[in-house]
Structure 1
Amino acid sequence: MYVDYSRYPRPESIRFFETAISNHSETKRLEKIEDYHYIIHRYDMPSFEVVVTNHYTIGLSDYYEIIDEYPDIQGIVTISNWNGYTNQAKTAAKQQQVGIFIMNELLGALTWNEPYKYIKKDDKGKPIFFGKYR
């Protein structure tokens, strides 16, 4: 079976995701719905439904394509550290209460009651955006 790794994460990336999320202090349980689709059950906070991708840059059309395929998700994670997202995609997602994250951002967002609102900040309180956001 051919897998398009420009869109879908490699098996080792999925193992990394599952291990990191399962070991996160706020994770009560990680539930795999299907390939790349998970529900993160958290302690004393609502569960968080996400899809893991390997898009180099999640653009607006990628966002809508993912939402069409997974209409109930609350987050999209592009797994590789060198991946990112566009301002348009991040803004459209936030308006629909969906978060777009690189993995590092997701780990921070899991501590928030509404993870889609999470934005990483530097020591001076200035937002840090990853990839192609600026």
Structure 2
Amino acid sequence: MLEVFICECYSYGVAEYLETTGKLGRLDAIIISSNWCGYTTDLKMQCRDERVGLFDIRDFMAALNRRVFWAYLNDWDDKRFKEQGLI
């Protein structure tokens, strides 16, 4: 069973993550439910390190059946993060 938090935040960052986990405890995934909302790159990398998935709804559905779902990156993020030396 996955513990998932779904939100509609304009920009979900480290402060929001700390507030969320402070109130709800450990999560397996966080889903940003709106196409015009998003999350910061810093938080995406932190969540990957903590084995917490951080996704929009489309990417969550793509990651869901993977063994290491929290590490899933869409093609655009994969390319961008490699170019920035983050992965």
Return the TM-score normalized by structure 2: 0.80
- Is 2:67 the counterpart of 1:113? yes
- 1:90–1:71 Cα change, 3 Å: same
Who wins on radius of gyration, i.e. which is larger?
1
**Secondary structure at 1:48 match in 2:** coil
Do the aligned residues in 2 keep the contact of 1:119 with 1:128 (CA within 8 Å)?
no
Deviations 1:17-76 (A, max 9, x none): xxxxxxxxxxxxxxxxxxxxxxxxxxxxxx322010111111111111111122221100
Return the TM-score normalized by structure 1: 0.54
**Secondary structure at 1:69 match in 2:** helix
1:63-102 matches, within 5 Å, as: 63-102=17-56
Paired residues, number: 80
**Higher relative contact order, chain-length normalized (CA < 8 Å, sep 6+):** 2
Distance 2:34 2:79 in 1: 17
> Alpha carbon RMSD of aligned pairs, Å?
1.8
- 1:60–1:94 Cα change, 3 Å: same
Q: Which has the higher helix share?
A: 2
What 5-or-longer segments of structure 2 have no aligned partner? 81-87
What 5-or-longer segments of structure 1 have no aligned partner? 1-46, 130-134
